[in-house]
């Protein structure tokens, strides 16, 4: 590493700078050494462990099918070879933008985010229990990476005058009563009413 010109640094000053740099980076830490000697855990490996030891054991058949499908179709193609410790805010934001480009709904994107978080947390717990060097706890919050909500436009409705005209033009008294009831209660047009006469 180049830290400067020999005119700027004496040897003792350069050694002090290097010592401070190593301390700040945490390179001399025991956990850093253990992490460097451990194999890199990719998201794909973590996902396989999660499926074998959590999804199949703890979830219903329908959940197993849907979550496996979502994992294989939308998540693993993007994260399979990514080291677990590199799944951070920028990675998740990029992934969510990708899912949006694939025209997935906001609810589907949230479900996929939940699967990524579940796999990460499962691997974090496994590593913590076995005493191996552990990655940081999951820090990515949904609210900070969530796509914006779509603004729903207001559904069309009849004015009071229009509804009065509909009621008054009904051919039978039963239809008049039905239309007036629908207008007064705010019932939707798609509902079907059946009146039983005793």
Where among 103, 118, 145 does a domain terminate?
A: 145
Q: Which of 123, 132, 26, 34 is nearest to 83 (CA)?
A: 123
Say if 20 falls within a structural domain: no
Tens digits of per-residue pLDDT, 147-189? 888 766 776 777 888 888 888 998 898 888 888 888 888 776 6
Number of Cβ within a 10 Å radius of residue 140? 17
Tens digits of per-residue pLDDT, 76-117? 999 999 998 889 999 999 999 999 999 999 999 999 999 999
Alpha helix ranges (H) inside 8-105: 11-25, 30-37, 43-50, 56-58, 61-70, 76-79, 89-101
Tokens of 21: 């740099």
Where among 103, 121, 145 does a domain terminate?
A: 145
94 and 139 fall within a common domain = yes
Tokens of 124: 């974090």
134 and 47 fall within a common domain = yes
Domain that includes residue 104, residue range: 43-145
- pTM score, two decimals? 0.58
CATH number at residue 77: 1.10.150
């Amino acid at each position: 590493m180049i830290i400067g010109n020999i005119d700027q640094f004496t040897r003792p000053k350069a050694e002090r700078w290097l010592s401070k740099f190593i301390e700040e980076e945490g390179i001399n830490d025991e956990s850093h050494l253990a992490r460097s000697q451990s194999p890199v855990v990719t998201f794909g490996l973590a996902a396989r462990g999660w499926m074998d030891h959590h999804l199949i054991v703890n979830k219903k058949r329908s959940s197993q099918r849907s979550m496996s499908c979502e994992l294989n179709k939308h998540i693993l193609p993007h994260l399979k070879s990514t080291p677990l410790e590199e799944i951070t805010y920028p990675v998740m934001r990029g992934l969510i933008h990708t899912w949006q480009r694939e025209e997935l709904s906001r609810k589907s994107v949230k479900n996929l985010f939940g699967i990524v978080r579940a796999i990460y947390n499962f691997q974090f717990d496994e590593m913590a229990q076995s005493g191996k060097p552990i990655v940081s706890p999951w820090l990515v919050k949904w609210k900070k990476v969530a796509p914006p909500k779509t603004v729903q436009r207001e559904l069309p409705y009849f004015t009071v005058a229009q509804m009065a005209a509909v009621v008054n033009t009904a051919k039978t008294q039963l239809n008049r009563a039905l239309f007036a009831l629908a207008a007064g209660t705010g019932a939707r047009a798609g509902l079907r009413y059946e009146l039983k006469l005793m």
